[in-house]
Structure 1
Amino acid sequence: MLRSDYVLDCDDLENISNNNIKIKQVKLFVTSASMAGLGTQCTRLHRFNLENLGKQDIAANLPECKAVENMAKVFAEAWRMYGNKKAAIMLIIRHNSTTVTDQRWLEYEIRHLDKSIPIIRRGFKDIIERAKLVDNKLIIDDYEIGIVYYRTGYLIEHYPTDKEWEARLMIEKSLAIKCPSIGYRLACITVLKQEIFRSGSIERLQKYFPDGEDAINRIRDLFPGLYTLDMDSEGSKNVQKALQNPNKYVLKSRKLEGDTLYDEDLVSKLNELGEDKRRAEYVLIDRIKPPVVKNYIVQSGKDVENRETVSEIGIFAAIISQGENLLINSTCGHILKTKTKSYKEGGASVDNAVEYIDSPFLV
């Protein structure tokens, strides 16, 4: 289960037009690709309120969101592929998670499709204490697990001891369908994207598109530029480029979920690193400049505010593969997230950043 997030990028925010605006991918989530459940309900709420006010014509411009329904269909299909009608889908969760309501919507939709599918929720502690492999089958609490769906495990702090890593390894060794497998998890880290774009690997995809080279150019154009800071002449040249125009770039750690630095923080970090080999642990990325629009912010316990905001759209997709054999590759739906103008980077569960679930309005 994937969610690929995109924002609009404009090189001249004072004169926005179709000629100077592009769409850029900012993130790819393969672990806990969340908000399909809440996003679906948000659009239903917006439609309900508009229709209640007699604004049916406006409500018709909000595209229907079926993300959680379509994701559930793929989960049910994967469960059938596993081949054991008694096998369970297991969500690996953090106890007291703030996203439990989003998780539950997916469970409800799966059960709505097929009430015979067992769905259980367990944490890493439960896996450590009670899970085992029997003939390569993953067993916990008398359930054979057909699908392991990670709603945690995407940050290094989710593995505080070796025991959590051992639990992850046991799951990887099992016959259970992993969502995601460790290979898919590693596929979205910054350093891998940098290497793919530098080595020309994308060109190998030309054979899958009727317009070949043009398709590859379109794919490349979806991503902001990534520049190495390795300890060589190219890396040093990129450092100078960033120091001269820090407002054009962001500095990102190549770790799984590393910090992103802007403006004076970027300059300070590069000056601190100097010629230290730790410089190679970072990558320089073109800074995206999204258009700013006025929007009403509705937040629990606070007055409604009219604020300057930027938005990003997430596209949900599903892949089921067996080795190199691709069994399912489908788009599932969308979600729109809106943030205040001061927002730089962060997610709904990050203390210093707030994402508001929103609905796109088609014009």
Structure 2
Amino acid sequence: MASLTGGTYPPAIEDSAERDALAQEIKDWSIAHGLAVRPPPAVVENNAEGILAMNAPVTLFPSPFPKSCFREAKAIQTTYNELYASISNDEEFIAGLVQEIAGADDFIANLWQVHQRVKKEGYVQNLSLGLFRSDYMVHQDGDRLQIKQVEFNTIASSFGGLSAQTSLLHKHLAQTSYPHLQDTAAASTQLDLPENDSAKGLAAGLKAAYDAYGKSEQGHPTCVLFLVQGGERNVFDQRHLEYELQQSSVPVFRLPFSEILQRTSISPKRQLLYTLPTNSSKVFEVAVVYLRAGYGPSDYPDQAAWEARYQIERSSAIVCPTVLTQLAGMKKVQQVLATPEQSSSTSPVNNSDNYPTALKRFIPQEHNQKALLRTFTNIYPLDTTPSGLTARKLATDPELCKRYVMKPQREGGGNNFYRTSIPAHLKTIPEKHWSSYILMEIITPPPLTNTILRNGQLEKGGVICELGIYGTCLWDSTSGEILHNKLAGYLLRTKGDQSEEGGVAAGFGCMDSVALV
């Protein structure tokens, strides 16, 4: 990547006074513009009143990113939206994969049980909403640079609010601070900083669903309900989406996932009704439920939490995502799409020329199939199929495992097992449960450097960037008709090149933006 920037960008800023001045400018701008998070306990032990905020971890400079890769990732997003809407509609396909996993994964089994309960009594809402994010890294193969998909997120695709603000921060610095740096080569660099409307784009998807729901039959005012985790540190990211919606005169309320049963009820026709905790005379009919919680086992500490998810799923509200859409985001789905249907144990997994995948079941157009396939990397099952047996050999070999990451069916950072930790973890679980994981070849990005401002401290060194492209999709799960399908901005997360995980909220990565090269 240094060859793409001439080796002069980003600047090192050796002078400590200059570096500290730039960091202070970032701190102030970030708080003034809501590029912020609640402080972690390691920084502030007691923030019980929620009165403190700090700048989100962020890079001092936007990171260079190949223009061709950025354009490809954006161009393919609406096709990815269509793909995952189609998968969400295919109960038979999802059921087959759940059956492979559920015996070793109670969380997936419980999600499926919620769907089964609602299906038995009959769904009353045909419309489904997806606020998606497809994550990529640039893979370097000799002189060739190409995007390869890390994962596809169908629930709680975060940082759309903060990402838009990060792009604005770096544009502000490019106009006000970078030109005055002592490093004259860097100061004279004309950065190509693309527009990023991720907050507006995601809010527009929620607004499309809100409008499609229509007026309340019972005469209640309608609203959008954000389901959130208690003690959410990433609250400002979510607030930016709320504020965008409220600009369109859409009532928006936040409800902790743990309080669903206390604050909502179901009418005889299964409308979801929300009573304001501050004014019990105010009752809203919920048009759209947006889950920023409920994506992991920790959100379901008891049966009451599963009853709460069931209440949401069985209601007439448009749910983002439904259980089926959430299950479509399983890593197992990504693996099946990338793995050839007819492959021997010696065949490469991602050989799209000779081995068609399940992709054609959902995307009939050959040119769209090929465009998607180009973004896939080698992904293996860990079952007893020929591909799975190959993967088991790779995962348990002390040398070969160094090229892979093993993933469970989870969202959020901190769940994966990398390289030499894979064989050790497999030894701790019964072999019959191995099939609940996938094995993915590690993507090899080109080397980059940057400086990260995290918790008030500057960290300089090699970094790895991960690009997320947002998309919004509203579809009719009965007819399959797609009513809304849009690109919705981007996210760039950056981490130190010695870190395996990239989650910002989990404390691994930081916010960044793209400088096209």
TM > 0.5: yes
* 1:189-220 deviation digits (Å, cap 9, x = unpaired): 01222233444321235533xxx2x5423322
Distance 1:246 1:39 in 2: 34
Equivalence for 2:288: 147
Match of 1:329 in 2: 485
Amino acid corresponding to residue 359 of structure 2 in structure 1: I
Structure 2 distance, partners of 1:334, 1:254, is 24
Q: How does 1:91-130 map to 2 (within 5 A)?
A: 91-112=226-247, 114-115=248-249, 117-130=250-263
Residue 32 of structure 1 aligns with which residue?
156
Percent of residue pairs identical: 28
* 1:136–1:175 CA contact under 8 A, matched in 2: yes
* CA contact 1:190–1:256 (8 Å) conserved in 2: no
**TM-fit CA distance, 1:349:** 2.2
The alpha carbon displacement at 1:57 in A equals: 7.5
Q: Is the 8 A contact 2:208 2:484 kept in 1?
A: no
Residue identity matched to 1:95: G
CA RMSD of aligned residues (A): 2.3
Alignment TM-score, normalising by the size of structure 2: 0.63
Aligned partner of 2:196 in structure 1 is 65
Q: What residue identity is the alignment partner of 2:297?
A: I
Q: Could you list the runs of 5+ residues in structure 1 that have no partner in the other structure?
A: none
**Equivalent in the alignment of 1:201:** 358
Render the CA deviation track for 1:279-328: whole Å, top value 9, x for unaligned. 323222111111221101122321x3321101011101000011211101
Distance 1:284 1:81, change over 3 A: same
Contact 2:473 2:484 in 1 (8 A): yes
Q: Which residue of 1 aligns with 2:297?
A: 156
Task: Indicate if the aligned counterparts of 1:30 and 1:180 stay in contact, CA closer than 8 A.
Answer: yes
Query: What is the rounded CA distance, in whole Å, between the counterparts of 1:24 and 1:255 in structure 2?
Result: 20
Do the aligned partners of 2:501 and 2:509 also contact (CA within 8 Å) in 1?
A: no
Answer yes or no: is 1:137 the counterpart of 2:271: yes
| C-alpha contact (below 8 Å) 2:338/2:376 kept by paired residues | no
Picking from 120, 134, 151, the partner of 1:4 is 134
Between 1:1-10 and 1:197-206, the stretch displaced more is 197-206
Q: Deviations over 1:203-238 (max 9, x none)?
A: 235533xxx2x5423322312222122235553333
Q: Which amino acid aligns with 1:31?
A: I
Aligned equivalents of 2:438 and 2:150: distance in 1? 14
Please point out which of 371, 380, 384 is paired with 1:218: 371
Query: Shift in Å at residue 176 of structure 1?
Result: 0.5
Q: 1:207 to 1:251 in 2, by over 3 A?
A: closer
1:239–1:270 Cα contact (<8 Å) kept: no
How big is the shift at 1:54? 7.1
The alpha-carbon distance between structure 1 residues 57 and 154, as it changes in their structure 2 partners (threshold 3 A), is: farther
For residue 447 of structure 2, what is the aligned residue in structure 1?
292
| 1:33-64 CA distance string (max 9 Å, x none) | 11111111111111112211374975651112
AA aligned opposite 1:77: A
| Greater RCO, 1 or 2 (C-alpha within 8 Å, sep 6+) | 2
Are residues 1:88 and 2:218 paired? no
Range 241-250 or range 92-101, more displaced: 241-250
C-alpha separation in 2, matches of 1:158 and 1:250: 25
Query: How many angstroms apart in 2 are the aligned matches of 1:163 and 1:191?
Result: 28
Which residue of structure 2 lines up, in the alignment, with residue 307 of structure 1?
A: 461
**SS at structure 1 position matched to 2:420:** helix
Q: How does 1:159-238 map to 2 (within 5 A)?
A: 159-198=300-339, 199=341, 200-205=357-362, 207-208=364-365, 212=366, 215-231=368-384, 234-238=387-391
Which sits farther off after the overlay, 287-296 or 250-259? 250-259
The CA deviation string for residues 54-112 of structure 1, in whole angstroms up to 9 with x for no partner, is 74975651112111112222222221111127201000111220110111111111112
Q: Which amino acid aligns with 2:270?
A: N
Aligned to 1:268: 424
Alpha carbons 1:47, 1:59 under 8 Å: kept: no
What is the rounded CA distance, in whole Å, between the counterparts of 1:339 and 1:108 in structure 2? 29
Question: CA contact under 8 A between 1:231 and 1:279: conserved in structure 2?
Answer: no
Amino acid aligned to 1:23: I
Letter of the structure 2 residue corresponding to residue 79 of structure 1: Y
Over 3 Å counting, the alpha-carbon distance change for 1:253 and 1:77 in structure 2 is: closer
1:340 is matched with which residue: 470, 480, 496?
496
**What amino acid maps onto 2:263 in structure 1?**
R
Query: What letter matches 2:424 in structure 1?
Result: S
Moved more, 58-67 or 321-330: 58-67
Return the TM-score normalized by structure 1: 0.88
Superposition deviation, residue 254 in structure 1: 4.2
> Does the 8 Å CA contact 1:39/1:335 hold for their aligned counterparts?
yes
Report the AA paired with residue 236 of structure 1. L
| Cα 1:197–1:300 shift into 2, 3 Å | closer
Instruction: Provide the C-alpha distance between the structure 1 equivalents of 2:503 and 2:288, rounded to a whole number of angstroms.
Output: 26
Counterparts of 2:246 and 2:363 in 1: how far apart (Å)?
40
Equivalent residues, number: 347
- 1:345-360 to 2 correspondences below 5 Å: 345-350=501-506, 353-360=507-514
